[in-house]
Structure 1
Amino acid sequence: MSAGGPVLVSWVAQKNDPYERKDRSDEYLREPDGQPILGPTLALFCDDDSPFKGKIHEVVLLHREGSDEKIALERRALDETRQALLERRPGLRISLEPWRAEDPTDHKAIFEFLRGKVPELRQRFRDRELVIHATPGTPSMQTIWVLMAETGFIDQPFQLVKSYRKHERNGQPTVVPLQVGIESFYKVYMTSRPAEVTSDEGSIPWDLKQFRSEQFRKLFTEARRFAQLKVPVLILGERGTGKTKLASWIRLHSPYRSLEHDTRWPSVACGQYSPETMRAELFGYRKGAFTDAREDRDGLLAEADKDTLFLDEIGDISKDLQRLLIRALEEKQYLRLGDTRPKKSDFRLLTATNLPPTALRERLDADFLDRIGLLRLRLPPLREVPEELLWLWDATYQVATRRSGATPSQARLGASHHDQIIKTLRRHPLPGNLRDLFSVAYRLIAARCDAYEPLSPGDAMEYALEEFEAGSSPTEEAALLRDVAQAFALSQPLDPLLRPGTRLPTRKLNKELMAFVARELRRLSSVRGVPIGELCDVTDRTLRERKDPAGRKKSSDGAEG
């Protein structure tokens, strides 16, 4: 693959490539100096007025394949165009992509072909700009290009352009961007975000057409069904799995959505506030309700009327607020702070947490949890859906490049390096999920963009994965043991803790745990003045033997040495 630069993707104009032809004739139209007039593909490629002159290093030509007479004419135009391109730039890489089809005006057949072909090209030219030339081909082909570009079937970076024939320009440039401005769901989805819940991973759209795993397909089938109901949905998932983005997806697929809130819809991260400020944020307040209440203010419940309210980190909400929210959910009424008359809000509630069910039941009242968890969706961690890592890594790297301020040329990697990174990601438990992908991406881009000692793509990849793959050092051992004990208490899996290369000292863990229990039981026995037998099912002698994890020997007179 060429090192860089935009890639031209185009059908071939049967009648006008590589040069303009006279009507119903094989004879070329010519300039006053006798040179043939460039057809649309050559005009984009090398016309003096084209912004792409000298910048295209690779070309993908789409063409029909078959045996009828019209296809034979297309094949002639294809061969002549390929030859003309190579004459202007020897060594130019040209890929021919055949489509077996009878009818070049069949919109559905064209779409089915391009829907499969475009993702192939996007993978082949990962971070390079695709210049989609919509002019050559039938009107049906042009229409499908426009619809695919406008509705999100072509992943960035790309440009959709059209070229003008020489006699049609009337002072216009040879090549211009082609934009219709369709307000598609995809565009709204990409700009929609909760008001106060933002993150790198939130910028990765859940691309349904890319899904490979049964888990993801099933999840979004359920999400689509749940979206239609004005019933609370609880989204469960580890940190970094994309719970916020799933909440946006549900809202945009539901009837509980106000268009004016699309770019900033009502939400709050419960862990950011004290119970008092959280109540003011949700319910609003009257002027004078508390010291700093200098004016009336409507809260998020008012904003969420006829829309959706998203409460992230729901496990951090106070008991008092849980009770108030139950009333708001059931009666669609609430009181602002300082008010005596209730206000109404017909809202739909989405909540999310990274707590496991056991811990969530300890944090929330059973009545509240029952109401917010009538419908539940669980986002699987990435280690359970390694099939999704190919497109997720590509999307992550593009977002990281854009957010870091690096240029595409600085961040560019070869396909083999991306493949190696994906292989490593698939072997890793990814405790931070999408956040781990961003961590690798940012380290890699930093190494490539170092102003003093930029690393080669291969060395940058090794640098990015170096810390990621490292196991626990001796200084981390105590923290690891504590984390394992906590995982046991919360019934959580050990995958996030035991990275490749990490070795769990199980004997030491067992001794440390038993020593802790022994010390605490003997302390409680002394404090409460009760015998050990009332607190546990082992003897005091056994506890004395277990309370020292170092296993210190007793001296001959029975004293500990």
Structure 2
Amino acid sequence: MKRVAIGILGTKLDHGFWEDRWESWRPTISLFQHEELLFDRFELLAEKSFSKLSGRVLEDVRQISPETEARLHEVSFGRDPWDLESVYAALHDWARSYPFDPEHEDYYIHITTGTHIAQISLFLLNEAGTLPGKLIQTSPPVGRSNRKPALPGYAVIDLDLSKYDKLSTRFAEEQAEAADFLKSGIATRNPAFNRMIDRIEQVALRSKAPILLHGATGAGKSQLARRLHELKKQRGGLKGPFVEINCATLQGDTAASALFGHVRGSFTGAQRDRPGLLREADGGMLFLDEIGELGLDEQAMLLRALEDKTFLPVGSDRPATSDFLLIAGTNRDLRCEVAQGRFREDLLARINLWTFTLPSLAQRREDIAPNLDYELRRFAGSHGREASFNKEARQRFLTFAEAVDTPWSGNFRDLNAAVTRMATLAPRGRIRVEEVEEEVERLRESWHRPGAGSAMEGADLEALLGDGLDDIDPFDQVQLAHVVAVCRRSKTLSEAGRELFAVSRKKRAVTNDADRLKKYLAKFGLTFEALK
């Protein structure tokens, strides 16, 4: 592999036309004063007005490194060498026209010379891959070695940060801190949820595009949106407020007014101007929960606001502006809403770049214990007094909470309410088995829906199996009905298998819940896909 150096003429540091120039440190010349660092070719970029100096530098390079082919490239940086736009454009145009051959040549980009703007431009072009290779930085000699003048120094900088252990560790720690912040410090154990939070953290800090949070009511969309806002304020440069609205509360003529504002006299009761939520969120974050509840007219206005940063307040003919980040929440399948004409396809396309589905509490049963501790801390913070379980009470509650047939219909809202009630009723802040048993009954009662069919009725085995149902024992019918119900509410075969075999899988060294469930269904001539 040939070794090629690319550098910019240092109009100040590379100075000198007299013999005493060799007594001074010249960064470009110092590149070629190292026996272990030999270059086959050197590409020097310089303004035409400095042709005399660049010619002298090239002559000196050839003198100390005769094996190096030294070539000059005239580049115009414009009138102001401190203007980033013009300098970057000039270097970019040169790089695009240069015949790079990375399969046969190694490139070293010298970043010691030129203005700071030129050095930043070289860095950006290298990071983007337009200038391939490694960055190399030269430095003046320090002290003396064996009574001889010390040689100038150099350092090769590879932007692959994974090669720098301390930097990699620091970045990993910062990413873990951000993910922990988004989880409110809860030591969650669900692998899928943790992976999702890591992805959300990356997107939040790297993208300004809308984020769509999908999940059942009470799955934590609102809390996660608030944490995203705080994270963006800490690390993403966001300065504006967090503005939240549940779109289900926006009805009729007041919906557009609440979101986009109105001018005085635009309708009966409009006695003064109203800025609207979009303008309140200017420079910050707008969280539209249950966005699927928005009317089609409001959806069209929101789309324009996202694309153009402008919108018309109700009754106004002058557009208003607002630059905000959008987080949207929904418990609906917006694709189905589009198919049924209740949601605009173009708006879905605009907000669907980053979509994350928050699992329900029932799908994260291993996270119930750490969330229980979190709810106790929240209670202490909001009520000003501590509360805790005794050992037997905690075990009794977790046995109930983690059981596969505990539905947790209201998700984390149910858990929060349960902890609040038990902690409030606990004598001297100590939750006993008595409080747990009372709460278990209260939760079961709250989840009961009068007139709701049994699992057998919900599964509709007769429709699935026809006459074959008569060949199955009643005992097996009950079991099969439960399996069918779990499959229908699960997204994947593996997810259903994990729920159905949650206890026995802990006792096995090798788990293949999906295959186990697939074989069970096959006994009755059923498949997971057919049930879905």
Q: Which has the higher helix share?
A: 2
